[in-house]
Chains A and B, each alone.
Chain A
Amino acid sequence: MFAYVVRRLAAAIPVLLVASFLAYALVALSGDPLEPLKLRNPPAPPRTIELETQRLGLDHNIFVRYWDWLWGVLHGDFGQSVQSNYNIGANLGRSATVTLRLVLVAMLLALVLAILTGVLSAVRQYSRFDYATTFAGFVFLAMPSFWIAIVLKDLAVRYNRASGTTVFYTIGETSQNYESLSAAGKFADVAGHLVLPTIALALISYAAWSRYQRAAMLEVLNSDYVRLARAKGLTWRKVLVKHVLRTALIPLVTVTALDIAAILGGAVITETVFNWNGLGRMLLNGVARADTNAVAAWLLLAGLVVIAFNVIADSLYAVLDPRIRHE
Chain B
Amino acid sequence: MSDTAARPTAETFTVRERTQSQLVLRRFLRHRAAVTSLVLFVVVALFAYVGPLLWKYSYTDITDDLSQPPSLGHPFGTDLIGHDTMAQVMRGTQQSLKIALAIALIGTVLGALWGAIAGLYRGKLDFLMMRIVDVVLTLPTIAVAAAVAAQGVGGSQWWSIAVILGALTWPYVSRVVRGVVLSLREQEFIEAARALGAGNARIILRHLLPNALGAIIVVATLTIATGILGEAALSFLGVGVQAPDTSLGLLVSINRDAVNTRPWLFYFPGLLIILIALTINFVGDGLRDAFDPKQTRVRQ
Contacts and interface: CB of A to CB of B under 8 A. Distances in A.
Interface of A: 14-16, 18-19, 22-23, 26-27, 30-31, 138-139, 141-147, 150-151, 154, 157-158, 258, 261-262, 264-266, 268-269, 272-273, 283-284, 286-288, 290, 295, 298-299, 302-303, 306-307
Contact of B143 (A145, A273, A298): A298
Max chain B Cβ within 10 angstroms of own Cβ: one of A142, A145, A303:
A142
B138 A16 contact: yes
A19 B252 contact: no
A130 B155 CA distance: 47
B232 interface: yes
B252 A303 contact: no
A142 B281 contact: yes
A154 B260 contact: yes
Contacts of B135: 15, 18-19, 22
State the majority secondary structure of interface residues on A. Answer: helix
Contacts of B278: 138-139, 141-142
A258 B148 contact: no
Contacts of A23: 139, 144, 147
B31 interface: no
A116 to B, nearest CB: 22
B142 A265 contact: yes
A290 B236 contact: no
B266 interface: yes
Contacts of A145: 233
B44 interface: no
Contacts of B147: 23, 26-27, 30, 283, 286-287, 295, 299
Interface stretch (B13-21, B103-111, B269-277): B269-277
A15 B43 CA distance: 45
B134 interface: yes
Contact of B237 (A16, A142, A269): A269
A22 B153 CA distance: 17
Contacts of A27: 147-148
A150 B266 CA distance: 10
A139 B279 CA distance: 10
A283 B137 contact: no
Contacts of B87: none
Contacts of A303: 138-139
A30 B232 contact: no
A269 B151 contact: no
B140 interface: yes
Contacts of A264: 140, 143
B52 interface: no
19 contacts: A15-B131, A18-B131, A18-B132, A27-B147, A27-B148, A143-B273, A144-B252, A144-B273, A147-B274, A261-B138, A261-B139, A265-B233, A266-B142, A268-B146, A269-B237, A284-B237, A298-B143, A299-B140, A299-B147
Contacts of B102: none
Contacts of B137: 258, 261, 306
B273 A265 contact: no
Given A146-B236, A269-B237, A290 B139 contact: no
Interface centre among A23, A139, A151, A287 (most CB of B within 10 A): A287
B259 A150 contact: yes
B281 A141 contact: yes
A31 B150 contact: yes
Contacts of B275: 142
A141 B278 CA distance: 8
B144 A299 contact: yes
A141 B279 CA distance: 11
A142 B140 contact: no
B282 interface: yes
Given A287-B239, A290-B151, A142 B139 contact: no
B92 interface: no
B165 to A, nearest CB: 12
Contact of B140 (A290, A302, A307): A302
Contacts of B200: none
B252 A269 contact: no
B138, B153, B229, most chain A CB atoms within 10 A: B138
B262 interface: no
B146 A287 contact: yes
The 3 closest A-B pairs by CB, nearest first: A31-B151, A265-B142, A142-B277
Contact of A142 (B131, B225, B252, B266): B225
B256 interface: yes
Interface in B228-269: 229, 232-233, 236-237, 239, 249, 252-253, 256, 259-260, 266
A219 B277 CA distance: 27
B141 interface: yes
Nearest to A32: B151
